[in-house]
Amino acid sequence: MPDDWWDDRTRRERAELIDTTVPNMARTANYLDGGRDNFEADRRAVRALMAVAPIMATMVPAARAFHHRVVRHLVAEVGLRQFVDIGAGLATSGRTHEIAQSIDPRCRIVYVDDDPMVLTHIRALTTTTPEGAIDYVDGHVGDPGPIMGGARATLDFRRPVAVLLLSSSTLGFIADTAQATAAVSAILAAVPSGSYIALYHQATDLHPELHIANRRWNQVSSQQVTLRSKDEVAGFVAGLELVPPGLVPVCDWHPAPDDPRFDEVVPIHGVVARKP
């Protein structure tokens, strides 16, 4: 992480960027997850969105369960020990390092976000095992160079790395699909053969209510979100080796007995892929 993040003046300047009057995606997801790192504007937005799209109640727990299964698979089944978690968010529990280091304490994780509240939260509450390592990069997925450059300070890019794009709208914050695809390609170009990417993305083609909720969100938040179809999400991982069952709704990817259960399809596409 850039040294200036630890500087008191820099932290104060970044803290001043936190606007508690406008809904924020990380904070609304935190509220939906039962957390306390949110404000009335976030809670008000969630209530308004839930009124038109009750399906939203399923999205955070389903996405969290997918995240947990992915990390467990990559550590226990694939054998990866290095992670770049882009779009870290304000998870209430089960962060990447908690899952990975519980399986192998030697795992090394770099968290990436550009939300000052998220970075402050991670810095204050995240601790590593003695055998492993955790670092933080202030960066945006749309500018991959500084992200991957910062991650090199902690990770060995001569060995495979797992890139996680497992936040509410990490790629959804990039409106242009070609630009989002280029960002993913640049990230993958920085990691060696045998590396993996795992991502999920809110869907245009799995539940009609989500369109209504997304329009309302974009009316009240400065963080504009773009939904995408299965074919558009497939473009992000074109040319990679998809881990079975491929690109599917997140609840259908390696479901576990202790996963939450839902009556309807959760409108989030999920995929894990290997770089040849």
Instruction: Please name the residues in contact with 233: beta carbons below 8 A apart, sequence gap of 6 or more.
Output: 199, 201, 203, 247, 269, 271
Residues paired with residue 270 on neighbouring β-strands, in sequence order: 200, 248
- The beta-strand segments (E) located in 37-169 are 82-86, 108-113, 133-138, 162-165
Full-prediction pTM beyond 0.85? yes
The CA distances from residue 82 to 4, 58, 75, 185, 195, in Å, are 24, 30, 9, 19, 9
Contacts of residue 28, defined as CB under 8 A and 6 or more positions apart, other chains included, come to 38, 42, 45, 46, 168
pLDDT tops 60 at residue 6: no
Of 60-64, 113-117, 210-214, 265-269, where does mean pLDDT reach its minimum? 113-117
pLDDT of 130 over the 90 cut: yes
The 10s digit of each residue's pLDDT in 147-203 is 999 999 999 999 999 999 998 678 999 999 999 999 999 999 999 999 999 999 999
Task: Collect all residues with Cβ–Cβ distance below 8 Å to 239 and sequence separation of at least 6.
Answer: 276
Domain spans of the chain?
3-274
At the fourth CATH level, the homologous superfamily of domain 3-274 is Vaccinia Virus protein VP39 (3.40.50.150)
CA distances from 16 to 9, 11, 20, 24 (A): 11, 9, 10, 15
Range with the poorest average pLDDT among 23-32, 114-123, 231-240: 114-123
Distances (CA, A) of 227 to 58, 131, 210, 273: 17, 40, 9, 21
Angle at 103 between CA 273 and CA 191, to 5 degrees: 35
